[in-house]
Amino acid sequence: MAEATRSRFSVDLDNIEQQLNQSGQQAASQKDPLAELARIVGQDDPFRALLDAGQTRKPEPARQPAPQPVYEPAPVSAPRVESAPSASDYQDRWEPEWEIEPNDWAASATPLSAGGRMRGYLGSAEDRDWFSITPDKTGLVMGTVNAPAGVDIVVFRDEDGKKVVNKRGAGDDEQFALDGEAGKPLFIGIARKLDGKKDPKEQALQGLDDPYELILNVTDK
């Protein structure tokens, strides 16, 4: 019996060994496809992750345009810097002053600081706006009037309104120069050119609600 059990045991051991080998071979043979599957699955994941990332990133460009209007005011204010003749006048030009009506005569002119900006309305056909500036140094006073659209600006360079500047047409800027003397006030009048053949009250007026802007800069010349 002992030999039989040994032989059986040995046979069993052989069978078990064979089974183990077979199962090991099967397992080994199964490992390869599993490994390939694992690779495929492993490769799919990063692609899916990229796809998912791409899908999640797509909405971002749609969100980005929203903040853009916040940055738009910057270019809007840029032309103000361009119109500044000098850096010393930079601060004044960011806060333009406004005309003080009635200012239809030189005696009631709205005072303007040197190197400043002044805005006003030609609110009627015969509205005339006078401004005064007293330079603190002797030199040329350079002036520019930015006209509202459709308005032909006329500039008076002297207190009596006899020296008229009107080089350009409707909607265009007018530029002029005055001889400034330290401590002596200068007077500048602004009006709109009307059709002399028509009654001012019957003329179609443009830019009644659009302000013009007078820019003055005292130079050393």
Residues of this chain that interact with Ca ion (CB under 5 A) are 103-104, 120-121, 127, 129
Burial class of residue 144 in the structure, from the number of CB atoms within 10 Å of its CB (0-12 exposed, 13-18 middle, 19+ buried):
middle
φ/ψ of 117, rounded to 5, equals -120, 140
Q: Smallest distance, Å, CB 132 to Ca ion?
A: 14
Q: Smallest distance, Å, CB 133 to Ca ion?
A: 17
Q: Is the Cβ of residue 89 or residue 129 nearer to Ca ion in the bound state?
A: 129
Burial class of residue 174 in the structure, from the number of CB atoms within 10 Å of its CB (0-12 exposed, 13-18 middle, 19+ buried):
buried
3-state secondary structure of 172: coil
Contacts of 31 (CB under 8 A, 6+ apart): none
Q: Is the Cβ of residue 126 or residue 136 nearer to Ca ion in the bound state?
A: 126
Q: Smallest distance, Å, CB 198 to Ca ion?
A: 21
What residue number has its CB nearest to Ca ion? 129
Q: Smallest distance, Å, CB 111 to Ca ion?
A: 15
Q: Is the Cβ of residue 176 or residue 212 nearer to Ca ion in the bound state?
A: 212
Q: Smallest distance, Å, CB 153 to Ca ion?
A: 12
Q: Is the Cβ of residue 103 or residue 217 nearer to Ca ion in the bound state?
A: 103
φ/ψ of 156, rounded to 5, equals -105, 125
What is the per-residue DSSP string for 16-39? HHHHHHHHHHHHHHHHHHHHHHHH
